[in-house]
Amino acid sequence: MKEYLKAGLVGAVAIFLGGFLALRFGPVAAPQTGGDFAGGIQPSQLFSANVTTNSVTPNLSNLYVNGAVSVGGTGANNQVTAFYTATTAYPTAAVTLGPVTASTSTTSTAESFNAPGFSVGDACEVAYNGNGTSTLPFGADAFISAVSGNAVTATVTFWNGNTANLTLTVTSTVTGASSTLKTTCFHTGV
């Protein structure tokens, strides 16, 4: 039985030493080169920034919007071809929205700006700090309602979801400065 243990121990030591020597003194694999790409393989279709056109090179018709920073993939569903934020003081005089069931529970205003690439119906995100409270049901949304060349108009609608009146104030109770309406509109390219 001792012979088997000795033979097993000698075999294990030989395997360990053989593996160690092979790793230590064996051939070394050459490092893969090619930059930050997996396996060192560089893709053949790369885009690079073009500061002259604020776009990418090469210019592709579904990526390029003259005068705007153009981004997105080569497929139309991957694009955000136009993005703009307009800011204005609103309202110029206090506006009272009636309770949710009243016909006076909503109001709207138009915000105009100049930017290329928008279409009627494009969505906008609204930020507003002059509603007097952030705890009552209140909301605002906006869409592009008119486009003429680069002249764009977004219609912003405010609504009161509360059972009592809600006043949109000239001076923000949040900041103490003029109430600010910020409308960020985007055109997705599809």
In this predicted model, what pLDDT tens digit does every residue of 149-166 receive, in sequence order? 889 999 999 988 888 888
The pLDDT of residue 146 is above 90: yes
Backbone φ and ψ for 40, nearest 5 degrees, come out as 75, 10
Backbone φ and ψ for 17, nearest 5 degrees, come out as -65, -40
pLDDT of residue 157: 92
pLDDT of residue 74: 47
- Which of 185, 161, 92 has the alpha carbon at shortest distance from 130? 92
pLDDT of residue 73: 46
pLDDT class of 148 with cuts at 50, 70, 90:
very high
At 83-138, the pLDDT tens digits run 888 888 888 888 888 998 899 999 999 999 988 888 899 999 988 877 655 567 78
pLDDT mean over 58-74: 52
pLDDT of residue 170: 84
Chain CA centroid to CA 58, Å:
23
The pLDDT of residue 39 is above 50: yes
Q: Is the dihedral of CA 117, 120, 121, 126 positive or negative?
A: positive
Residue 156 · residue 86 · CB < 8 Å: no
pLDDT of residue 109: 92
Spell out the domain ranges in the chain. 47-78, 81-187
**Integer angstrom CA distances of residue 167 from 32, 38, 48, 137:** 66, 58, 50, 13
- Rounded-to-integer distance, Cα 26 and Cα 28, Å: 6
Residue 108 · residue 139 · CB < 8 Å: no
Q: Residue 72 CB: number of other CB atoms within 10 A?
A: 18
pLDDT of residue 110: 93
